[in-house]
Structure 1
Amino acid sequence: MVSDPLLDSLASRSDWSEPDSVLGTYVAQMDRLIKPVDPGVPLMLTVHGLLVSGDLIPQWQWFAEVSEMNDYSDAFYTGMAEHMKEQSDLAHDAIRARDTGGEVTHRQMSALLAPTKYIHLRNTRIYSPDSTPGDGRLWRGRLCDVSGWTPGLASA
């Protein structure tokens, strides 16, 4: 039997560096919402040995809320919030067009197929063995850094 180096390297790779597909789908669906979420969906995440607990919100909403904070109020966050909201609207329009038999534009399809790489939480508390969690805050993290998760919030 002849060995194929390409197939051998693909077979030996593990998906440990990939984000959890269920959590990724969950976050992607949240990111496609076009209306603000309040209070958000409670989640607990394990990230590099720390417990991160907070409310999942859409990416565009996270940028909008950051842009409203006094200490971060600038054009970058406002612009990013507007861009992310536009992408969310395009993805939503693509789903609507697809479901009604309409034509999906290239921009809509691109927004719909954009990979979800980050998770966005509000009212976040980070628990570590040697400190007490601070007040809730906005938090953004890479999905591939989440090693475990569960619905709900951590109790004090």
Structure 2
Amino acid sequence: MSDRMRADWGGPDKVLDTYVAQMDRLTEPVDPGVQLSLTVHGLLVSGELIPQWQWFAEVSEMTNNEDAFYTGMAEHVKEQSDLAHAAVKLRDTGGEVTHRQYTALMAPTSYLHLRNARIHSPDHAGRGGCLWRGRLCDVSGWTPGYSPLAG
């Protein structure tokens, strides 16, 4: 077996990776998010896919006083999303992309972010309503929409 085939097996699904990357480049909040069901280390995880910056913003708002770390992360990730979005617009119109825009545009997608996530195991009914962040490379299977098991 070639090294390239082994590398493909260990990396994230390219279609899901592209899907999440496009979601992360959105510059407006999504509500509701896109429903997904994922298989992660034998568990079923279902929820609404939302942009990374929106996930950090919602985590920061979970307590009465906004958490400075998550607020700062939300602002930073939102800035990167805005830069990537601007780079796409410039590229499509033949404009010149700055180094910062190019860097933001080419940043690899490593995590996906769910709202109203439900996590199910074979011996435990799912609990839901949480914000969930998971590594793309840990997802072994996925389907659009909620799984019937996530009921």
| 1:141 is aligned to 2:138 | no
**How many Å separate the matches in 1 of 2:88 and 2:80?**
13
Query: In angstroms, what is the RMSD of aligned CA positions?
Result: 1.7
Give the structure 2 partner of residue 122 of structure 1. Answer: 115
SS state at 1:141 partner? strand
Q: Larger Rg: 1 or 2?
A: 1
Of residues 75, 78, 87, the one that matches 1:85 is 78
Q: Which piece of structure 1 moves more, 61-70 or 8-17?
A: 8-17
**How many Å separate the matches in 1 of 2:96 and 2:56?**
30
| 1:45 is aligned to 2:38 | yes
SS state at 1:134 partner? strand
Give the structure 2 partner of residue 35 of structure 1. Answer: 28
**How many Å separate the matches in 1 of 2:54 and 2:107?**
17
Q: Which piece of structure 1 moves more, 53-62 or 129-138?
A: 129-138
Which consecutive unaligned segments of at least 5 residues does structure 2 have?
Answer: none
1:130/1:72 Cα in 2 relative to 1: closer, same or farther (>3 Å)? Answer: farther
| 1:112 is aligned to 2:99 | no
**How many Å separate the matches in 2 of 1:48 and 1:72?**
34
Give the structure 1 partner of residue 87 of structure 2. Answer: 94
**How many Å separate the matches in 1 of 2:29 and 2:19?**
16
Instruction: Report the structure, 1 or 2, having the larger strand content.
Output: 2
Which consecutive unaligned segments of at least 5 residues does structure 1 have?
Answer: 1-7
Q: How many residues align?
A: 149
Deviation per residue, 1:119-150 (Å, 9 max, x gap): 00000000111111113110000000000000
Give the structure 2 partner of residue 24 of structure 1. Answer: 17
